[in-house]
């Protein structure tokens, strides 16, 4: 009986299967799923640096497709045709814009900015395109000039720092700083010992003073209660009466109608009293000089 599959047929079939597996495996490793349905659109760029097959196509950071093929357009030199495989569920408005951007790590990508037009692009049509200033280009255009200006200052700073480090005075200052640190540690230890030794005594004295203050407060409270019990109202009434009597006496003393008032206010009486006093002084003086004139002694 003749065999259905010859040896040559089996080898050929194996080679075809291996080639298919290799092809689909390579495409799978690239990130391309040939079995996933997609709609194809085209975009043209003048520079696709960093863009590769299987680079993502994103809408607001979400992947909606990928680059399927990159072809140089020999009919229009300077233009590069990029085939975009998009999800079938995505309908693209006619005023959409396919912008190519750059990332620092993963290379280039396509950022699809969805428009608001009611008209939709047909499958296979061209999407308007352009190139944005990616991160690397921003770094090159904005950050690098600033770094170039800073570098001379950094060199000068490093030179000054080397000069400062090589200065012997810095080493001496560091050694002095070590000594100061040791002194501070010694003072800290002494203060700690003093606190541990003296603080309990201070606390004890403070407690004693507190007890004494409490005792004084209790005595003041008792004194206050005693003062409340004294007849202060009666005493004040007596003081008021005495004050009124003294005031009445002073009034009479100053009045010219009273006896004391006449004695204190009558000038004529004052002069008379002075005259009498002078006469008495003269009489006493005369008695002392001539006692016999006033005293007679008869002897029996």
Return the pLDDT at 133. Answer: 57
Does the pTM surpass 0.85? The reply is no
Does residue 273 form part of some domain?
yes
Q: How confident is the model at residue 300 (pLDDT cuts 50, 70, 90)?
A: very low
CB 24 within 8 A of CB 34: yes
Specify the number of domains making up the chain.
4
Does residue 281 form part of some domain?
yes
d(CA 109, CA 92): 18
CB 46 within 8 A of CB 82: no
Give me 249's structure tokens. Answer: 């006496």
Q: What SS3 state is found at 18?
A: helix
Does residue 260 form part of some domain?
yes
Same domain, 116 and 178: no
CB 97 within 8 A of CB 110: no
pLDDT for 224-236, tens place per residue? 877 777 777 787 8
pLDDT for 74-129, tens place per residue? 888 889 999 998 888 888 999 998 998 877 666 788 899 998 999 999 988 999 98
Residue 101 zone, left/alpha/beta (φ > 0; ψ -120 to 50; rest): beta
End-of-domain residue from the set 230, 250, 268: 230
- For residue 227, how many C-alpha atoms fall within 13 Å in the half-sphere facing its CB? 6
Same domain, 242 and 187: no
Does residue 222 form part of some domain?
yes
């Amino acid at each position: 009986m003749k065999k259905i599959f010859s040896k040559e047929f089996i080898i050929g079939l194996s080679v075809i299967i291996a080639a298919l597996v290799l092809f689909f495996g390579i495409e799978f490793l690239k990130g391309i799923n040939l079995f996933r349905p997609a709609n194809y659109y085209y975009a043209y760029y003048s520079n696709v640096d960093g863009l590769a097959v299987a680079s993502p196509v994103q809408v607001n950071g979400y992947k909606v497709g990928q680059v399927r093929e990159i072809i140089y357009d020999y009919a229009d030199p300077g233009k590069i045709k990029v085939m975009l495989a998009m999800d079938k569920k995505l309908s693209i408005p006619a005023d959409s814009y396919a912008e190519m951007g750059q990332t620092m790590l993963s290379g280039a990508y396509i950022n699809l900015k969805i428009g608001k037009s009611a008209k939709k692009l047909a499958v296979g049509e061209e999407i308007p395109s352009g190139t944005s200033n990616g991160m690397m280009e921003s770094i090159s255009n904005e950050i690098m000039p600033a770094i170039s200006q800073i570098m001379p200052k950094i060199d000068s700073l490093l030179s000054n720092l080397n000069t400062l480090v090589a200065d012997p005075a810095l080493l001496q200052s560091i050694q002095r700083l070590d000594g100061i640190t040791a002194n501070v540690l010694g003072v800290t230890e002494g203060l700690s010992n003093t606190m541990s030794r003296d603080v309990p005594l201070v606390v004890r004295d403070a407690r004693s003073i507190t007890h004494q203050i409490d005792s004084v407060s209790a005595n003041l409270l008792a004194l206050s209660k005693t003062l409340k019990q004294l007849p202060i109202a009666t005493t004040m009434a007596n003081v008021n009466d005495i004050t009124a009597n003294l005031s009445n006496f002073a009034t009479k003393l100053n009045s010219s109608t009273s006896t004391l008032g006449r004695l204190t206010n009558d000038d004529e009486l004052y002069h008379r009293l002075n005259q009498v006093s002078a006469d008495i002084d003269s009489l006493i003086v005369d008695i002392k000089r001539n006692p016999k004139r006033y005293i007679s002694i008869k002897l029996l």
